[in-house]
Chain A
C-alpha cells in the first residue's frame, strides 16, 4: 500500500501522560499536514511541513504539542501532559507541491482517560 500511513491507529492514555504519533506520507510528497477531528466536527488544521521545515502552526497547537519532520520524510506529533480535551482523531495528510491534492491517512484515535 503506497498511501499515507499512521501509527498507532488507536491510543488510550491516562491524563498527564505523553504520547507520540507517527505519520508516513506518500513517498514523493514534500508537503505533510496534521489535522485534528473531534466528534461531529470536520478536521481542523494543526500544522504543516514543506520537506523538513515546519511552515505554520495553528493557534490550536498549544505549547504541549510539538511536531517534527526531521528528514523530510515521516513526521511525529507529540502531546505532552495530555488532557481529556486532547481526545480526538489525529489525521495526517500529504500532498505533492503547494496546491496538490491532500491524501489523508487512516488517523490515530486518541482517548485520554
Chain B
C-alpha cells in the first residue's frame, strides 16, 4: 500500500463545474500537508497548504482530517486552465515530501 493514495481519475468535467479530490495518507507522523499542481511535462508547483481548520484560496478549498488521515481539495467554477494533475503531498521529518500518484483533471468547454 502506498503512503499517499489518490483516485487517479481522470475527472472529466464541464467548465463551471465543482469537482472534489480526495486523498488518504498512512503515516500518522506526517507533519504538514499540501496540494501541488503539475501541468503536462512540467514541474510540480505548490497550489496550497492544507490546515486542520480548512483553508480557502479563491475557488480552491482544502480540508484536512488528521483523525481519519484524509485530505481533500474542492475546486469551484472550474476553468479550462484548471486542467492538470493534482498531487496530494505530505511532509515527513526532514522536509521530505511524499507524493501521491496524482489525480488528472480535464475541464472541457
Residues of B in contact (CB 8 Å), total 22
Binary CB contact string for chain B from 87 to 109 against chain A (1 if under 8 A, 0 otherwise): 10101001111111110000000
**Residue A65 at the B interface, CB < 8 A?**
no
Q: Is the CB of A106 within 8 A of B95?
A: no
Q: In chain A between 82 and 113, which residues have their CB closer than 8 angstroms to a CB of chain B? A: 91, 93, 95, 98-107, 109
- Given known contacts A41-B101, A44-B99, A106 and B43 CB-to-CB distance under 8 angstroms: yes
Q: Is the CB of A102 within 8 A of B43?
A: no
User: Is the interface on chain A under 10, 10 to 19, 20 to 34, or 35 or more residues?
Assistant: 20 to 34
CB-CB < 8 A to A43: which residues of B? Answer: 44, 87, 97, 99
Q: Is the CB of B95 within 8 A of A42?
A: no
Q: Is the CB of B87 within 8 A of A42?
A: yes
**Residue B42 at the A interface, CB < 8 A?**
yes
For residue A86, give the distance in angstroms from its CB to the closest CB of chain B: 18
Binary CB contact string for chain B from 80 to 91 against chain A (1 if under 8 A, 0 otherwise): 000000010101
Q: Is the CB of A91 within 8 A of B43?
A: yes
Q: Is the CB of B94 within 8 A of A55?
A: yes
CB-CB < 8 A to A45: which residues of B? Answer: 96-98
Interchain Cβ contacts under 8 Å between A and B, 5 examples = A33-B96, A43-B44, A100-B95, A105-B43, A106-B42
Top 9 A-B pairs, shortest CB-CB distance? A42-B99, A104-B43, A45-B96, A43-B99, A42-B87, A41-B101, A42-B101, A106-B43, A98-B95
